[in-house]
Amino acid sequence: MSKLFSGAEIVFKCLEDHNVNVIFGYPGGAVLPIYDELKNFPSIKHFLVRHEQGAGHAAEGYARSSGKPGVALVTSGPGATNIVTALTDAYMDSVPIVCISGQVPTHLIGTDAFQECDTTGITRPCTKHNWLVKDIKDLGKIIHRAFEVATTGRPGPVLIDIPKDIQFQKTTYTKYKKQKKLNGKGQNNFNQSEIDRLIELMSKASKPIFYTGGGVINSGPKASELLRELVSSTGFPITSTLQGLGAFPADDNQFIGMLGMHGTYEANNAMHDCDLMINVGARFDDRITGKLDEFSPKSQKVHIDIDPSSINKNVKVDLPIIGDVAEVITSTLKTIKKKKPSFTKSNKQRISKWWEKIAKWRSVNSLNYENSSETIKPQYAVQRLYELTKDKDTFITTEVGQHQMWAAQHYKFNKPNRWMTSGGLGTMGYGLPAAVGVQVAHPNKLVIDIAGEASVLMTMQEMSTAVQYSLPIKIFILNNEYMGMVRQWQELLHDKNYSESYTAALPDFVKLAEAYGCVGLRATTPEELDDKIIEMLNTERPVIFDCRVDKIENCFPMIPSGKPHNEMLLGPNDQKQKKITGKGKILV
Amino acid sequence: MSKPKSAYSIPGKIGKMDTHIIVVWVDNEAGVLARVVGLFSGRGYNIESLAVAEVDHKKNISRITIVTTGTPQVIEQIKLQLKKLIPVHKVADFKREDKNVIFKEMALLKIVGNASNAKKAIKACKRFNAVILDKTSKSVVIQVTALRRDIDKLSKNLKSSGLVSASRTGAVAMTRGSHTFK
């Protein structure tokens, strides 16, 4: 007879089988058997967080920077509910996470037992799928399936709820066998005629644009390489969503910046005026489209996406191509080479007028701001941070708010998987634990969380995790004492009634850093900024950097509420002329 | 109904609403109905009626029939979102007007009153495959199978004949002819 293993052992055997060597977690009553087994699996290193939300975001940071699924281990009840935010975040941004939660023993389920909650019920809408393991014989199979579901098709979080008695029970273990067909889900589903049609549209277009998103990153590093090849061979301009930054080099001339609510003038105008829009792995999110009725009215739209439900969800498209970005681009490139080898040359002429137009928009220099010699402008801080770190292979995470947009606008990414930010859910407190996860995945790389003082306080406790494992993350706080984006909207839309957006009592971040056992630095003037940043970079321990910036700076350019792409606010002087009125005010 | 989830889009025109019958084949596992129903409530889709039972005991396949209304775009989303659920095997979608599909709903109607009331009620039900399941001097329970809107009308008419309780199954659907949905 084959050997019997306990449920807890099977959990780790499965993790080993799926090449997991890092888990983020927090012990508790309902997962004690699993924690007890940890010592017997030296290839798996456990990182103890300070709050389960931190475990979830750390797993996200790990997954997004490494391309491997992130694994979190939490206990029942509050352990599970605490990780819900991170699971929802991962669901919105398509990050593969496998969350294992403990549950009260099966005979106690439904009795309102201590630390019991309906974990699978609570997490059903925020996971791709979840399982409550009721029979030890199913455990191994379910965990294998969970990894498949999390990592195939459009990636996302999954959760496995394991009652405590199941963790003790014994059964045999079956190794993972890769299945070819996954219940018809997450498959490529495109054909050559669609690729031909795409190329036909491309060869006819005179005002084309690539609009790329997180799907390119999720498709793997190969997809980014292929995208570069496709973009350079077509000569088309390319813009990217917040999540897609890094898939195409930001310093390339064909890249016209990020698009959307705080995107560049040239990107948004090009999206509005184009005659062919090729969406590669993006989802027509409302921060991108602006007013739907007036979204890119004159264009034919192509949408490449692995998730069929993304097609025609917000914007009706003319040519949907359902498939993995890398594979769709591979076929496209192949077809171009085979059928239209002269494509590149003929095309560049056709679109030269389009580039002239883009150059005009570009000359507006929409990311410009008025610098100051007395106070540190937040944009200047990000620019200096970029200049001083661009020679290193730097990984950036962010929290959510103005600082996030400034980071996206002014930090230039040239490689995929270097930019981790909470886009879909917009989770304040994402960046610090995510940085922990990124640093775990890349121990020798520079990892910086560009943060706001309000966001970072939401998960500040994870500094303690960083110190415990000597993870030298750098928390670069653009401290303006306001919830900056809230303040900005209140200024523009609520007659400067800054209701509850000012934090009247903030900790001394330098002392806080010292309390956590890491290094605190502060910069208050533009002159000292560079030196302090260099000091931060030369510190081999975790650092909290309190960068005191202008308190009332707003993030521009901005598409105001209820406006189409071609009606952007470019800066403080522009806003007087284009006052937001009427219906625009009620929208978020 | 399609409410624009998009944060700063101004609610646009609401397109034409159609009634569709959506049939979903799912693994009959714990929580599967909650997944399907939760998808509808979470995304703001309508459920007019719902019928579900296991149809294949060997493979543990259940068949869920949902009557819903929505614009063509919403109906398309419903189908695509359903197909994404892991326990879902296939999804069929029929328009209510579709002549190639049979839609039926069963109802149990309890009439309380004198003999003439009962007689009147039985007569009214006759067209709808009426079966008398229980009869006393004061009451009668009638089973009818018909289209949803016929049962709607019927139960309205029977109010005056002493209809005190109606129990309905929700519509189920089947294609006509030898063809089955793959």
pLDDT tens, A540-583? 999 999 999 999 999 999 987 678 888 888 888 776 555 555 55
Residue B12 has a CB neighbour count (10 Å cut-off) of 12
pLDDT the model gives residue A181: 60
Cross-chain Cβ contact A588/B80 below 8 Å:
no
CA angle, A158 then A161 then A165, to 5°: 155
B135 in reach of chain A (CB within 8 A) = no
C-alpha pair distances (Å), A559 with each of A210, A574, B9, B82: 20, 12, 12, 34
Reference A162, options A47, A37, A46, A76; nearest CA is A76
pLDDT at B61 over 70: yes
pLDDT the model gives residue A586: 57
Cross-chain Cβ contact A120/B81 below 8 Å:
no
Cross-chain Cβ contact A128/B86 below 8 Å:
yes
Torsion of CA A451, A455, A458, A460, to 10 degrees: 20
pLDDT at B1 over 50: no
Quote the longest CA-to-CA distance of chain A: 81
CA distance A204 to A169: 65
Residue A316 C-alpha, separation from nearest chain B C-alpha, in angstroms: 9
Residues A119, A76: contact at Cβ < 8 Å?
Answer: yes
Phi, psi of A586 (to 5 degrees): -80, -10
Reference B66, options B6, B26, B16; nearest CA is B26
pLDDT the model gives residue B7: 42
pLDDT at A330 over 80: yes
pLDDT the model gives residue B179: 83
The closest CB to that of A124, out of B10, B35, B89, belongs to: B35
Phi, psi of A545 (to 5 degrees): -110, 115
Q: Quick: pLDDT tens for A450-472.
A: 999 999 999 999 999 999 999 99
Residue A284 C-alpha, separation from nearest chain B C-alpha, in angstroms: 10
Q: Choose the weakest-confidence range: A501-510, A565-574, B16-25.
A: A565-574
Percent of chain A with pLDDT over 90: 88
Contact list, B37 vs chain A (CB under 8 Å)? none
CA distance A368 to A387: 16
CA A69 to chain centre: 14
Q: Provide mean pLDDT across the span B131-140.
A: 94
Q: Which residue of A has its CA nearest to B9?
A: A291
Cross-chain Cβ contact B73/A286 below 8 Å:
no
- Render B8-73 in DSSP notation, one character per residue: TSPP------EEEEEEEEEE--TTHHHHHHHHHHHTT---SEEEEEEEETTTTEEEEEEEEEE-HH
Q: Quick: pLDDT tens for A16-70.
A: 999 999 999 999 999 999 999 999 999 999 999 999 999 999 999 999 999 999 9
Instruction: Choose, from A9, A12, A13, A52, the residue flagged as catalytic.
Output: A52
pLDDT at A300 over 90: yes
pLDDT the model gives residue A562: 72
Instruction: Choose, from A13, A128, A164, A301, the residue flagged as catalytic.
Output: A164
pLDDT averaged over every residue in chain B: 90
Residues A264, A258: contact at Cβ < 8 Å?
Answer: yes
Q: Name the more confident of A498 and A291.
A: A498
pLDDT at A585 over 70: no
pLDDT the model gives residue A102: 98
Q: Provide mean pLDDT across the span A427-431.
A: 98
Residues A108, A116: contact at Cβ < 8 Å?
Answer: yes
Would you call B159 exposed, middle or buried from its count of C-beta atoms within 10 A (0-12, 13-18, 19+)? Answer: exposed
Q: Name, in order, each residue with C-beta under 8 angstroms of A530's C-beta and a sequence gap of 6 or more.
A: A384, A388
Tokens 């605190």 sit at which residue? A520
The ipTM value here is 0.89
Helices and strands of chain B, counted as H and E runs: 4, 9
Cross-chain Cβ contact A121/B86 below 8 Å:
no
